[in-house]
Amino acid sequence: MNDDVWSLVHAERAALIEDLTHLDDKQWDHPSLCDGWTVHDVVAHLVDTARTTRLGFVSGMIRARFDFDRQNARGVDRERGASPRETLERLRQVAPRRSGPPAPLDTRLIEEVVHGEDIRRPLGLTHSYLPAAVIRAVRLQARTSASFGGAKERVAGVQLAADDADLLIGEGPQARGNAVSLLLAISGRREALDELDGPGVAALRTPGTRPASS
């Protein structure tokens, strides 16, 4: 099972690296869907999380005084190269890694898909994500508490239905759309809400839960 997840992670990392190879410096400086982060910042974050180990995550949280956002910001500063080419090379080097924080392994799929779209969408890039990666990411995100970067509270009382995958989660007014849009919407990317239909969309628009940033 772990091998299956890592094969999906590695495939998505390779696809993103291919897309990044063709960007110019202006595109690297473009704002991403991650509030306050450029495309370059998000790539640096992906380098940092790919390097993360369980022990390293815990020690980093202690140094950041258990402030998750502070820890992420430090990781970006640490892994952001002097140029996009340098940061991209760092991503290439860490792409085969199989390490992560003390969290369910499917969080690595959330990381790759959500941040992949954080980068691609503002630049007008499209990518066909592996269906298994997206479905597993949605399922984990929907059952993970917001305090751990998930969407459990956001989706409470809403049924999520994918029209391009075998995915039906929860009970209540339905929010329907493609699986990637559902994942982005429940992960706090409000841009994706306009891609969903159904009475459950109004509940997903309700503010007050923390967007996932990892």
Domain range for 18: 2-102
Which of 150, 172, 146, 149 has its CA nearest to residue 161?
Answer: 172
Question: Based on the domain organization, do 188 and 140 belong to the same domain?
Answer: yes
Question: Based on the domain organization, do 149 and 88 belong to the same domain?
Answer: no
Question: Based on the domain organization, do 136 and 98 belong to the same domain?
Answer: no
Predicted local distance difference test score (pLDDT) of residue 129 = 97
Predicted local distance difference test score (pLDDT) of residue 34 = 93
Predicted local distance difference test score (pLDDT) of residue 64 = 60
pLDDT, averaged in runs of 10, over the chain (214 residues): 90 98 98 96 96 74 66 87 98 96 93 98 97 97 92 95 96 97 96 96 72 42
H/E stretch holding 160 reads strand 159-162
Domain membership of residue 75 (yes or no) is yes
Question: Based on the domain organization, do 157 and 89 belong to the same domain?
Answer: no
Domain membership of residue 33 (yes or no) is yes
Question: Based on the domain organization, do 142 and 197 belong to the same domain?
Answer: yes
In degrees, rounded to 5, the angle at the alpha carbon of residue 131 between the alpha carbons of residues 126 and 136 is 120
Q: Give the tokens for residue 31.
A: 């704002």
Instruction: Kindly give the residue spans of alpha helices, DSSP state H, lying in 95-178.
Output: 107-123, 131-143, 152-155
- Reduced to 3 states (helix: H, G, I; strand: E, B; else coil), residue 103 is coil
Question: Based on the domain organization, do 94 and 148 belong to the same domain?
Answer: no
- The number of beta carbons lying within 10 Å of the beta carbon of residue 120 is 19
Predicted local distance difference test score (pLDDT) of residue 157 = 94
Question: Based on the domain organization, do 64 and 138 belong to the same domain?
Answer: no
Question: Based on the domain organization, do 94 and 157 belong to the same domain?
Answer: no
Predicted local distance difference test score (pLDDT) of residue 2 = 76
**What's the total number of domains in the chain?**
2
| CATH number for the domain harbouring residue 171 | 3.30.1050
Predicted local distance difference test score (pLDDT) of residue 214 = 43
Domain membership of residue 112 (yes or no) is no
Last-in-domain residue among 87, 102, 117: 102
Predicted local distance difference test score (pLDDT) of residue 66 = 59
Question: Based on the domain organization, do 67 and 140 belong to the same domain?
Answer: no
- Residue-wise pLDDT tens digits, 107-158: 999 999 999 999 999 999 999 999 999 999 999 999 999 988 899 999 999 9
Q: What is the pTM of this model?
A: 0.90
Predicted local distance difference test score (pLDDT) of residue 58 = 67
Question: Based on the domain organization, do 95 and 12 belong to the same domain?
Answer: yes
Domain membership of residue 79 (yes or no) is yes
